[in-house]
Amino acid sequence: MSMRTIGIRKGNARVKNYILAKLDSLNKEDLNIVFEDYNKSDLLYIKCSLKEGFLAGIKNNKISNDLIKNIATILSDVIINNYEYLLIKKVIDDYYIYITEAEKEQIFKFVDRIIKRDDNNYSGSIYKQLRRNMIKEIIFDYLKTEDLIILDGFINFRLNDYKKELYLVVDRAFKEFIAQKEYDEFIKLLKYFVEIQDSKVDVIHIVADKKYGYILLDDKKRKISIENDKDLLNESSEKGLNNDDTLISSLISIAPKKIYIHNISEFSNKELIKTIQNVFSDRMEICSNCDICGFVALKSKNKLN
C-alpha cells in the first residue's frame, strides 16, 4: 500500500494548492513521489505514491512510512491553518445557543486571544505544535491501514480528541468573556457613582508606598484624613490606605476633579491603575517628574543607602 489518496472539497483552491506545493517540495528532498489530482463528483482527489521502482531499495517499509508521515504532516498543517477556527465557531454555535450572535463574536475573539497568548507563552509556539502533533498522529495511524482519506469526513468523525481540546479553549474564552462583562458592568456602575456625586476635593495626589500602602494628598500636599468619613470604607491605616479596594472606594466617595498618580513603579497591582483610569477617564493623570515624585525617589534612595 504505497499509494495514498486525499479527498477535499472541490473549489477549495487554497487547500488544494497548499497540498500540491508541499507534495512537490518532497521531490526536492530524499523522498521521490508522483502525484496527480482529479475531480470526481463533488470532491477533488489528490493521489500520491512513490515513484515506480523506488520501493526496490532495502528500506521499503521506512520509505513507505516516510510517505505517510509527510502526508500526515501536510494535512495536520491544513487542518490547523484552514479548519481550526471553523471548528471553534462550530463549538461556540453548538454549546452556547442561548447567547446573541454579537456575544458569540466576542467569545471567538477571546478564543483567538487565548490561542495566540498560549502560543506566545511557549518558546517556538509549542502549544500550537502540540495540537498539530495530536492531529498528525491520528492521521498517521489512520493512513497506516487506509489508502484513502476524505478530509472533511475525517475531521468530523476521527478528530474527537482534538475537538475536545478546542472545546476546553472555548470554555476558557467563555469564562474570560463573562469575567470581562462583569468587570465592564462594575466599571459602568462606579462611573455612575462618580458622576452623580459632588467632588469633596478638587485634586488628589496618590502616592504608593510599600510600607504604608497608599497615601492621599490634597492640592496643598497635605495628607487627606478619611478615618472619620462615614462614606468611606474604614480600612485605612494610620499612615495610609493599605488595600486596593479601599483606595477605589475612597476615590469614588471623594470624587475628585483631578487625580495625580505618583511613584507608579510602587503599584504592585497594575490592574488597579487600569481600573482608576476606566472609572475616572481624563480626570486621572500619571505623573513622573514633580516635587512629590522627586521626594519619593529621594526617600527610596536614602533607604537603599
Would you say 72 and 136 are in contact if contact means Cβ atoms under 8 Å apart? yes
Question: Which of 132, 163, 188 is a domain's end point?
Answer: 188
Would you say residue 63 has pLDDT above 50?
Answer: yes
Characterize the bridge pairing of strands 33-40 and 43-50: antiparallel
Task: Report the number of distinct structural domains present in the chain.
Answer: 2
Q: Are residues 44 and 127 part of one domain?
A: yes
Coil, strand or helix at 287: coil
All cell numbers assigned to 279: 472609572
Q: Are residues 140 and 222 part of one domain?
A: no
pLDDT in tens, 100-128: 999 999 999 999 998 888 666 654 467 78
Q: Are residues 136 and 87 part of one domain?
A: yes
Q: Are residues 132 and 26 part of one domain?
A: yes
Q: Are residues 62 and 80 part of one domain?
A: yes
Q: Are residues 138 and 7 part of one domain?
A: yes
Rounded to whole angstroms, how far apart are CA atoms 234 and 226? 8
Q: Are residues 203 and 182 part of one domain?
A: no
Question: Which of 188, 207, 227 is a domain's end point?
Answer: 188
Would you say residue 176 has pLDDT above 90?
Answer: yes
pLDDT at position 124 is 43
Q: Are residues 209 and 66 part of one domain?
A: no
Q: Are residues 258 and 173 part of one domain?
A: no
- For residue 157, the enclosing domain spans 3-188
Rounded to whole angstroms, how far apart are CA atoms 91 and 135? 18
Looking at residue 241, the DSSP 8-state letter turns out to be: B
Would you say 255 and 280 are in contact if contact means Cβ atoms under 8 Å apart? no
Q: In what order do the strands lie in the sheet with 148-150?
A: 33-40, 43-50, 3-9, 148-150
pLDDT at position 126 is 76
Question: Which of 188, 215, 250 is a domain's end point?
Answer: 188
Query: The pTM is what?
Result: 0.79
Q: How many CB atoms lie within 10 A of CB 201?
A: 15
